[in-house]
A and B are shown apart, each in its own frame.
Chain A
Amino acid sequence: MSDLEQLPDRGGPAQPLLIVKNLAKHFPIGSFLSGKQVVRAVDGLDLVIDKRETLGIVGESGCGKSTASRLIMSLIAPTAGEIVFDGDLVGANGGISLREYRRQVQMVFQDSYSSLNPRLTIEESIAYGPMVHGEPRGKAAARARELLEAVGLNPAQYARRFPHELSGGQRQRVNIARALALRPRLIILDEPVSALDKSVEAQVLNLLLDLKEQFGLTYLFISHDLNVVEHVADRVLVMYLGKVAEVGPVEEIFRAPAHPYTRALLASRPSMDPSRRRTEPPLRGDPPNPINPPSGCRFRTRCVLARAVCAEKVPALLRQGDGHETACHAITPNSGYTESERIAA
């Protein structure tokens, strides 16, 4: 009996698998001369992932989605905030140890090549984690072969190859197999298909959906591609400059987005119909620099609805419907928005 089976569900189905509270990461930058500055990459992130669901995080570059994934994976230390995994506080006395936590949470990165050790064969890469956790070499290698089979790579053909001998899609399958090797319950997928060709992307997305069923997994799926998130996620969280703009069920967010940023993001998707081409860009300019984010609502500098109050107060996430929350003064009653003066966006 291997001790590396998936760990039992402790909290029961109603206990969220992961709760993130007020998570923040501020990177100090600047020198003695320019003075101290901080990049508020993630600034007060709250999120909940239920068991066996897929939460998608979308946002543009610099919105903090990758920093958030590294914080949740505990690859970098947060400035503030806490993570609760299946009811246990991570890394605290009486909670779950970091070592145990990392066994249950695994990650797949965008760059399939740089995330594999070029000097290990595929089989060695996949068996590495279980061996660190005390599994004998023979057993770990056997599991690696099983997992290669599970991700659609013939072990007899691929187990002894090195990463550079595989195509991008095959390498990403290896990364997925490696993430599964410790029998995790949560997998963080950080842009897993962004570097792949369309036909390979479809293969990997199908595989991810199959594995989720087969192994009873929960996914945190980070992507800049709204179409991909709509395809795989149950709920979606929209980030803008380190803050949550909107979160809710995928169907609802894509059918009736409430935050002006979500609306613009959705309207920026190519129409897929040459007879109904876009004529005006939904947003002008690039996302601002996260070093000195705008005061109040961070989206106000690009928002068509912005008024004076948006520069003064940070909007809180407000419940809109079942699980649907939005941070926008314009739709918040008594926020002072209606009395406030218009400002040019």
Chain B
Amino acid sequence: MKSGNSLVRARDLHVSFVSRDETVKAVNGVDLDLAEGEVLCILGESGSGKSVTLRALMRLNPKGKTVMSGALTVAGHDMMTLPDARLSAVRGKVVSMIFQEPMTALDPVFTIGRQITETLIRHEGISRKEAEQRALDLLELVQIPSAKRRLGAYPHELSGGLRQRAMIAMAISCRPKLLLADEPTTALDATVQIQILLLLRRLQQELGMGVIFVTHDLGVAGEIADRIAVMYAGRMVELGSVGDVMAKPLHPYAQGLMGATVHAGTRGRRLTTIPGAPPDLRELIPGCAFAPRCQYAGEACRQRMPDFTYPVAGRAVRCIRAQELAA
């Protein structure tokens, strides 16, 4: 499935939100590569810049107050210079997105079938009749029971799990090369979450899509990712295969995050916590953003942001002590 072609390539990507009173630096120099057919999970807490990075790939951040810099190409399209008029040709056909809350992402006044057929007619230029047939096939593909009847349903008439399936159907309707998923299972019940994760994994393999999946949940990443990128304060701090990162995280923040995650086997033990709070993105400190909370931090960490080091093959860590922490 994997070819060497790069589907997403970001270099030194910066995104900040500017208003009259303040500038919030949400993404501060992200390098990102995604191969075709690869699943990358961006793991981070609120305010880490993971959703903003994702939205930047589709240029969905609010126009007018968003300032972007760096280089960003998605499937050969230069997203930094692409004129607004041509964005709609890229959105949907090349890259599309699913969101955490399908109720707000779907239009409440149109039926599911209408929303999918409109998308198909608009992007694929096919007749209504053909589009209706394709919509039915799509609902069956995402395993919505009694699909024919569900085409005529409004979003509020569906359960949470079915709504999420309908949104996935709409997102993949034009066979995008890249699917962006922003915490799509966070609002779902446990028994439904695993169904949606398995569905996404199957669709990803069948359609050969590249997927970037944003989550704060380590367990979810473990079920779906090929690679994991851990974000903190708008920067990637660790990159590696899902097995490596989950078995032995190297960056002190990634280690703290895993130690703080409740799982089977933590019962009766005190959870290790990360002291302090995430940094204020309005006033970034010069050195490593995690240094004030890091038990290993030294003077050098506060001087300048460490570059990526590669302590083990296939792994990248932004920590000057990565080598000794890996040992």
Interface set of A (CB-CB < 8 Å, partner B):
60-61, 167, 169, 197-199, 201-203, 205-206, 209, 224-228, 230-231, 250, 254, 264-265, 268-275, 277-287, 289
Determine whether the beta carbon of A198 is less than 8 Å from that of B243.
no
Pick from B64-72, B95-103, B218-226 the stretch touching chain A.
Answer: B218-226
Contact A197 B198, beta carbon cutoff 8 Å: no
Can you sample 20 A-B contacts with CB below 8 Å? A61-B160, A167-B277, A198-B217, A199-B45, A199-B260, A202-B261, A203-B260, A224-B189, A230-B267, A231-B262, A250-B267, A264-B191, A268-B190, A272-B263, A275-B243, A278-B194, A282-B191, A285-B145, A285-B161, A286-B192
**Which residues of chain B are within 8 angstroms of A286 by Cβ–Cβ distance?**
159-162, 189, 192
Instruction: Identify which of A199, A209, A224, A273 gathers the most chain B CB atoms within 10 Å of its CB.
Output: A199
Judge whether A227 and B189 touch: CB under 8 Å: no
Contact A199/B264 with A277-B223, A281-B194, A286-B159 known, Cβ cut-off 8 Å:
no
Residues 200-238 of B contacting A (Cβ, < 8 Å): 216-220, 222-223, 225
In contact, A203 and B264 (Cβ under 8 angstroms): no
Task: For residue A197, give the distance in angstroms from its CB to the closest CB of chain B.
Answer: 4
The complex places the Cα of A278 from the Cα of B200 at a distance, in Å, of: 13
B225 contacts across to A, CB distance below 8 A: 274
Q: Does B257 contact A (CB under 8 A)?
A: yes
Interface members, chain B 224-270 (any A CB < 8 Å): 225, 242-243, 246, 256-257, 259-264, 266-267, 270
The yes or no answer to B303 lying at the interface (CB within 8 A) is: no
Nearest CB of chain B from residue A198's CB, rounded to whole Å: 5
Residues of A within 8 A of B242 (CB): 274
Which one of A227, A272, A277, A285 has the greatest number of beta carbons of chain B within 10 Å?
Answer: A272
Known: A167-B277, A199-B256. A287 touches B189 (CB 8 A): yes
**A227, B220: Cα distance in complex, Å:** 13
What are the residues of chain A within 8 A of B161 when measuring CB–CB? 285-286
For chain B, give the interface size range: 35 or more
Cβ of A205: which chain B residues have Cβ within 8 Å of it?
Answer: 262, 271
Question: Main SS of the interface on chain A?
Answer: loop
Closest CB in chain B relative to A270 CB, distance in Å: 3
Cβ contact of B273, chosen from A203, A231, A282, cutoff 8 A? A203
B145 near A274: Cβ-Cβ < 8 Å:
no
**Cα separation A43 to B162 with both chains bound (whole Å):** 26
Give A277 to B195 CA distance when docked, in angstroms: 13
Least distance between B67 CB and chain A CB atoms (Å): 26
Chain B residues closer than 8 Å to A198, beta-carbon distance? 45, 216-218, 257, 260-261
Determine whether B323 belongs to the interface, using a CB cutoff of 8 Å to chain A. Answer: no
Residue in A226, A273, A275, A282 whose beta carbon sits within 8 Å of that of B194 in the complex: A282
Verify B223–A265 contact, CB threshold 8 A: no
- The interface residues of chain A lying within 8 Å CB-to-CB of B271 are 202, 205-206, 231
A282 to B172, CA, bound (A): 25
Q: Which residue of B lies closest to A233 (CB)?
A: B267
The CA-CA distance from A280 to B243 in the complex, in Å, is: 21
Q: Decide: A272 near B219, CB < 8 A? Known: A201-B262, A205-B271.
A: yes
Q: Would you call B274 an interface residue if the criterion is a C-beta within 8 Å of the partner chain's C-beta atoms?
A: yes
Docked Cα-Cα span, A118 to B244, in Å, equals 45
User: Closest chain B residue to A278 by CB distance?
Assistant: B194
Return chain B residues, CB-CB under 8 Å to A224.
189-190
Q: Judging by beta carbons under 8 Å apart, are B190 and A230 in contact?
A: no
Within 8 Å CB of A199, what residues of B?
A: 45, 256-257, 260, 273-274
Task: Report the minimal beta-carbon distance from B313 to chain A, rounded to whole angstroms.
Answer: 18
A236–B240 CA distance with the chains assembled, in angstroms: 37
Does A281 contact B198, Cβ atoms closer than 8 Å? yes
* 10 nearest CB pairs, A to B: A270-B219, A202-B260, A60-B189, A202-B271, A197-B45, A286-B159, A281-B195, A286-B161, A199-B274, A283-B191
B88: interface (CB < 8 Å): no
User: Would you call A270 and B260 a contact (CB within 8 A)?
Assistant: no
CB-CB under 8 A from A209, the residues of chain B are 270
Task: Tell me whether A202 and B273 are in contact (CB under 8 A).
Answer: yes
A237 to B61, CA, bound (A): 44
Q: Is B295 an interface residue (CB 8 A)?
A: no
B142 to chain A, nearest CB (A): 13
Q: Of the candidates B219, B243, B273, which one forms a contact with A269 in the assembled complex, judged by CB atoms under 8 Å apart?
A: B219
Q: Which residues of chain B come closer than 8 Å to A275, judged between CB atoms?
A: 243
